[in-house]
A and B are shown apart, each in its own frame.
Chain A
Amino acid sequence: MTIRRLAPAAALSLLALGGTSVVPWPGGTPPVDGVVLQQLEEAFELHELERFEEYLEAWERGEDSEHIFVLQEEIDAGSYDLDRMFRRGDALFGHEFRPSDGWGDAATTLPLQRVHDGRRGGLDTFSCAGCHSVGGADGAGSATQNAFFAGDGDASDSALVRNAPAVIGLGFVQALAAEMTIELQLLRDDAVVAAADSGETVHVGLVTKGVSFGAIDVGPDGAIDFDAIEGIDRDLVVKPFGWKGTFSSLRRVIENAAFVHFGMQSHVLALGHEVTPDPEMLGDGPDWFDPDGDGRARELEEGILTAGAVYFALLESPQIIPPGDPALRDRWARGQARFEEVGCGDCHRSELVLVGSTWREWSDTTDAEPVTLNLLSDGEHPKAGPRVQLFSDLKRHDMGPALADPHPEPGSDIPVGTFLTRPLWGLAESPPYLHDGRAATIVDAIVQHGGEATASRDAFVGLPDAAQADLHVFLLSLSRAPRLRVPR
């Protein structure tokens, strides 16, 4: 395999496209040649590698499956550096799972099951990339790619409809949530001590990174009254993943997605099943190590969960890319101010400050040291800075009856109309909008806000058209850096 190199003549021709005509760049400055050349080289390097691996798999079936076979013990032993884990995670994201990998279960029938069957999930596709095609690699899902969770296996209205979010920048999201969780739990623990010391009930506000999650009252005996908590579970764990905020770690998101979409059961799930059998979710196979009874044990090794989480932590972050035209740029600036005036920013917090940039990916089953990386500097670029422009408070809010699900998530007491504030970074590259993709445009999405967002929505609707447009321009700047790739 050879990586294509640019001839000097090619570099010269960058100045002009199609001979003599220079393509005008909208409003701004075109990227410098060096940047283009580097992007080009990276895109072709990846393409050549993927092409080579494609032929390798064609020649000897099973090559691709080997790329997603990662033993946690080998990671613990230091056999994988970050680059290697990134490549394995990337392979996982693109892997087309087949029955020989453990795709499906003993009772799998075709065609694919679009509506999931309760907690067992469905079989709606073969790869992660299959539902994250919008806005670039590791992107969001289109309306057709909506998942139909926790249904009756057939009727679309029995399911919780979920539009796939983009999966870039997620390392920052998990890290922010983890810091918030620690702070909230410290507040709780300090209150328990204070209440015991003082012999009186202690009332403590749950505020972290400027976001209030209500308050708790702690009695002298350590009993906690959670009646006044807001937008968070009683465990005070901020769970930033899932439209309703139900997962706190990428590791578990990967594990769950592979299970419900592909029937791929991680070894960690099986180990849990051995201790606490969960046949309703995992299946009632005769052996604990193969709950779905398809004859495949250890369908996903723990190591690939680690590599997958590291991969997500290393991906680029969304960026704010304003318009090029000077007049549009003025409107963009006004729109940014409007965003706060209208009250969007109350929940869609424009910025959360990340205190520590060190990421630690702990194993579930071994007691080795975690994989460590730096969110700000390691992996793909561009990255968010320590002031993460996430546009979310990572808190749940009531969104009103019109947006409510048909039923609660299985085993969850989160009300049907309550959702986590969707981070708006990357917004422009992730249509359609809202949890089930019902909004074709950003404006449609704003107008359909209800519940706690009703006042802001009304304020937006009450704005003059031009002011609405300014805000729309601002929201369209929440995007991703252009990245060249060869489509596959």
Chain B
Amino acid sequence: MRRVLFGVLFGVLLGVVACHESTASVERGSAEILGTISRDLPAVDSDKARLALVQDAWRREQRFRDAVDPGHLFRATRVEQEEIDHELWTADELYQLGGQIFTLEHTPAHGFGGAHGPTLRRFHLGARGGPDAYACTSCHWRGGLGGAGDAADNAMLLGDGLHQSTTLARNPPALAGIGVREQLAVEMNAQLAAVRDDAITAAAAAGHGVRSKLESKGVGFGYITARTDGTIDTSEIEGLDHDLVIKPFGRKGTLASIRDAAEGELLVHHGMQSTHLVEHADALRIGPDGGADPDGDGIANEIVEGQVTALVAFLALLEVPQEEIPGGGPYFATLWARGRLDFETFGCATCHSPTLVMDDAAYRLPHRDGGPVLELDLASDGATPRIAIEADGTAMVRVYSDFKRHRMGDALAESRGHDGAAADEYITPPLWGVARSRPYLHDGRAPTLEDAILLHGGEAQASRDAYAALDDAGRGPLRVFLTSLVRATRLVTP
């Protein structure tokens, strides 16, 4: 008894010491680089080949290790936020850990699914979701790592759990370049907030309402009128929520950050519940059982904060799509150049704004528990090929989106709105890499670019009609141009 008590006391003492010297005592835990993911794309083809083969060899070998040491693959992704806070992992290593999470097959042993539903639920049950997939790669495969999903992979969101007709179909978008997209949105949001603050200040000073144009990076979002009492008339805002926050993710522009999106996807598609959501989300999202295991599957801490951070780092640092002028002689190159002009002439570029300027390449992931911000340099930490920085520190981002919601017409309208966006309202999808992300439109109804263009309506009706009025030879150049929007050529196996 005395020994036990002594042991407890000793432990408490040790704990106190550990608290005081936490800086020194934090060490890497079970997370481990498996050799299956690489941030760099070798310049030489044979090195690309060798890299793909060695990664495949490690993929197989690590899988065997997982068989003799069950949970090995999962534990290798289990990085604690404290380790990241103490900079025990480089950006490159975080990328690899996040990539391991992205390619991991989740299993019930580590929290996949919940106790109150079937093993798989293809049509989501409200905000609880599925689960409908074992891995991110189930739906993000086309065109390479972090790619798009087929029509068959469509997520069927927010339904009754049983009937397709109750769901909202969402074709999985390609993820390459989303760090840059979030960064652009963050910068635009700061500018929009400044417009609002200036208007409020001006209205107070002037003693009458002040109407200001909401514009950022050349994109107009209508007008706000600040009243003298500091409130805002939002009735003239266009394509943006009244909080003036652009949410670049989700087909309807409803998710502000990669972290919000990724954490939500882990929850609804895999039933993998992050510790953060378990602490903060309501029972409709995470399940009725409460406590540390609201989905009742007997597993707590299914996804720890460090894993969320690593996954976000991977996604934010994913390669940036490329424009590849067609080879094979001058013929296609000429068509391509013509199509590039047509993209402007037809009016596509009005919404699919070809270039937005990013002012600052520092992607900042705020800490959710008072710790340090994780800062990633998109220009140097990103996977190859990265965003190119000009001499003045800005970057011309060929993203082909205005980050704004538009009405797309009755034919593309759904049965209901979603998170504040109207039934026919969608955020302009970026077209970079578009040739590697078929099928198209929010529910993947368009198998080819031609179909996608012709299905545009609403605000895009005039542009669509300009294209449709041409014969096939007249339409060809635009399609050739769009076909040049791809991702860097890489080798993979499988």
Q: Chain A: residues with CB nearer than 8 A to chain B?
A: 1-2, 4, 6, 9-11, 13-14, 17-18, 23, 25-28, 30-31, 33, 36-37, 39-40, 43-44, 47, 51-52, 54-55, 58-61, 96-98, 103, 110-115, 124-127, 129-131, 133, 135-137, 139, 141-146, 148, 154-157, 321, 323-325, 328, 331-332, 428-429, 431-432, 436-438, 440-441, 444, 466, 469-470, 472-473, 476-477, 479-480, 482-488
Contacts and interface: CB of A to CB of B under 8 A. Distances in A.
Contacts of A476: 60, 63-64, 67
B45 A156 contact: no
Interface stretch (B205-213, B392-400, B438-446): B438-446
B105 interface: yes
A6 B45 contact: yes
Given A111-B169, A133-B150, A482-B493, A469 B68 contact: yes
Contacts of A325: 61, 64
Interface residues of B, number: 93
B105 A96 contact: no
Given A2-B327, A52-B328, A144 B445 contact: no
Contact of A58 (B106, B165, B479, B490): B479
Contacts of B491: 40, 43, 484-486
A98 B451 contact: yes
A477 to B, nearest CB: 8
Contacts of B47: 10, 13-14, 17-18
Given A133-B150, A144-B152, A156 B123 contact: yes
Contacts of A127: 150, 447
Interface string B161-172: 011110001000
Contacts of B202: none
Scoring B54, B68, B169, B439 by chain A CB atoms within 10 A of each residue's CB, the highest score goes to: B68
A147 to B, nearest CB: 8
Contacts of A2: 327-328
A130 to B, nearest CB: 4
A425 to B, nearest CB: 15
Given A1-B328, A17-B51, A488-B436, A324 B45 contact: no
Nearest to A480: B494
20 contacts: A14-B47, A25-B57, A26-B61, A36-B50, A37-B49, A52-B328, A55-B328, A97-B447, A110-B445, A130-B150, A135-B494, A143-B134, A146-B120, A155-B162, A156-B122, A156-B123, A440-B106, A469-B67, A473-B68, A487-B147
Given A51-B326, A154-B163, A328-B64, 15 more contacts: A14-B50, A25-B54, A33-B46, A58-B479, A60-B473, A124-B152, A125-B150, A125-B151, A141-B152, A144-B139, A144-B149, A146-B120, A328-B68, A444-B108, A470-B68
A486 B490 contact: yes
B482 interface: yes
B275 interface: no
B107 interface: yes
Contact of B494 (A97, A129, A136, A328): A136
Interface in B110-161: 112, 119-123, 132-135, 137-139, 141-145, 147, 149-156
The 5 A-B residue pairs with the shortest CB-CB distance in the complex, in nearest-first order: A136-B494, A130-B150, A26-B61, A142-B138, A472-B67
B489 interface: yes
A323 B66 CA distance: 12
A145 B122 CA distance: 10
Nearest to A470: B68
A141 B139 CA distance: 10
Contacts of A444: 107-108
A114 B53 contact: no
Contact of A114 (B67, B121, B150, B156): B156
B219 to A, nearest CB: 28
Given A98-B448, A143-B120, A440-B106, A484 B52 contact: yes
B147 to A, nearest CB: 7
A482 B56 contact: yes
B5 interface: no
A139 B141 CA distance: 12
A291 to B, nearest CB: 22
Contacts of A331: 68
Contacts of B449: 58
Contacts of B435: 54
Contact of A441 (B107, B132, B445, B482): B107
A321 B165 CA distance: 44
Contacts of B163: 154-156
Contacts of A466: 68
Contact of B63 (A52, A96, A428, A482): A428
Contacts of B137: 142
B420 interface: no
Interface of B: 35, 40, 42, 44-54, 56-58, 60-61, 63-65, 67-68, 70, 105-108, 112, 119-123, 132-135, 137-139, 141-145, 147, 149-156, 162-165, 169, 326-328, 332, 335, 435-436, 438-439, 443-445, 447-451, 472-473, 475-477, 479-480, 482-483, 489-494
A341 B147 CA distance: 43
B302 to A, nearest CB: 14
Contacts of B147: 487
A144 B132 contact: yes
A148 B164 CA distance: 11
Contacts of A486: 489-492
A157 B60 CA distance: 35
B143 A487 contact: yes
B457 to A, nearest CB: 13
B133 A136 contact: no
Scoring A125, A137, A328, A331 by chain B CB atoms within 10 A of each residue's CB, the highest score goes to: A125
B57 A59 contact: no
Contacts of B490: 486-487
Contacts of B335: 59
A148 B122 contact: yes
B138 A144 contact: yes
Contacts of B139: 142, 144
B113 to A, nearest CB: 9
B12 to A, nearest CB: 36
A405 B251 CA distance: 35
Contacts of A110: 443, 445
A111 B44 CA distance: 43
A37 B46 contact: yes
B488 to A, nearest CB: 10
A36 B155 CA distance: 38
Contact of B154 (A13, A114, A156): A114
A43 B483 CA distance: 20
Scoring A130, A135, A325, A437 by chain B CB atoms within 10 A of each residue's CB, the highest score goes to: A130
Contacts of B493: 136, 482-485
Nearest to B132: A144
